[in-house]
Amino acid sequence: MTLFASTTRAIPHSRAAPRHLAIIMDGNGRWAKKRFLPRVAGHQQGVETVRAVVKACIERGIEYLTLFAFSSENWRRPAEEVGFLMNLFVAALQREVGRLHKNGVRLRVVGDLSAFEPRLIELIRRGESLTAGNDKLTLTIAANYGGRWDLMQAFNGLALAHPEKAGAYTEADLEPFLAMSYAPEPDLFIRTGGEQRISNFLLWQLAYCELFFTDTFWPDFDTAMLDTAIASFRRRERRFGRTSEQLLEPAMPALPTTPSETNA
């Protein structure tokens, strides 16, 4: 059983502000290149943006922030850049976990952690357990994450747990096995850096997510741009398969009636 309504099986309450924001932080390399700096300088600067965005999300009452930090395909990059990213991850955890904890942030890391060195895995586990009881914001870092990896590990987990049900699995059976079963599906997705693609991020969970793309490189992304994305989200009509006219009918089941919960 999952904790949260699925967008394909129930009509979610439409909210004025996103509850779960998922971001592909892209454009670090190009940000650096534009300044005649090594690509890794862009990654370093990107960490500063992460800090600012986490703070802004807390201030805006966003409950879940999910950041794509390293994809299962990013191992294809030059070894030097991969090594730098790993060290940056270690350094960021060492430096930031205490502050996150003080600010009431619960840290989670999703992805195939088995590929990481033990020192990094240990830091992740320590950060997760230290912050496990916090409830201001759940910050999820997707590291060595791939949407297909997630689906495959979930399918395999389900098949092992319930072999008797093979051939009759439902969406609801699968969802508890997904890496982010502790969070509702994202409402708003942002990709910086100009590309308009999903790059194997949250494939299952983005089914009905509102997508927002900006040319701004991640190190230049700021709270003004975040607010632009949220404003865009607010203007959208989330129909979840229904017609516009149906949204106006008060008798629709599961539709919220309080003004604060509607999209109007």
Chain residues in the site for ligand IPE (CB under 6 A): 24-30, 68-71, 73-74, 85, 193, 195, 197, 199
Cα dihedral across residues 151, 153, 158, 159: positive or negative: positive
Catalytic residues: 26, 74
Q: Pick from 115, 113, 122, 117: which is nearest to 142 by CA? A: 113
> What's the min distance (Å) between Cβ of 68 and ligand IPE?
4
From the list Mg ion, ligand IPE, none, pick the one residue 24 interacts with, judged by a Cβ distance below 5 to 8 Å according to partner type: ligand IPE
Alpha-carbon span 139 to 137, nearest angstrom: 6
Closest approach of ligand IPE to the CB of residue 39, in Å: 6
Which residue lies nearer to ligand IPE by CB, 76 or 235? 76
Q: Which does 68 bind (CB under 5 to 8 A by kind): Mg ion, ligand IPE, none?
A: ligand IPE
DSSP 168-211: ---HHHHGGGSTTTTSPPPSEEEE-SS----TTSSTTTTTTPEE
Closest CA to 136 of 63, 56, 54, 186: 63
Nearest approach in angstroms of CB 195 to Mg ion is 7
Point out the residue whose Cβ comes nearest to ligand IPE.
29
Closest CB to ligand IPE among residues 217, 233: 217
Out of Mg ion, ligand IPE, none, which partner does residue 199 contact, by CB within 5 to 8 A per kind?
Answer: ligand IPE
Q: Is 26 in the site for Mg ion (CB under 5 A)?
A: yes
Q: Which is nearer to ligand IPE, 131 or 216 (CB)?
A: 216
Across the strands, what pairs with 190? 23, 212
35-38-39 Cα angle (round to 5):
95
Decide whether 177 or 218 has the Cβ nearer to ligand IPE. 218
Which residues does 79 contact at the CB level (< 8 Å), separation at least 6? none
Phi and psi, residue 94, nearest 5°: -60, -40
**By the criterion CB under 5 A, which residues form the site for Mg ion?**
26
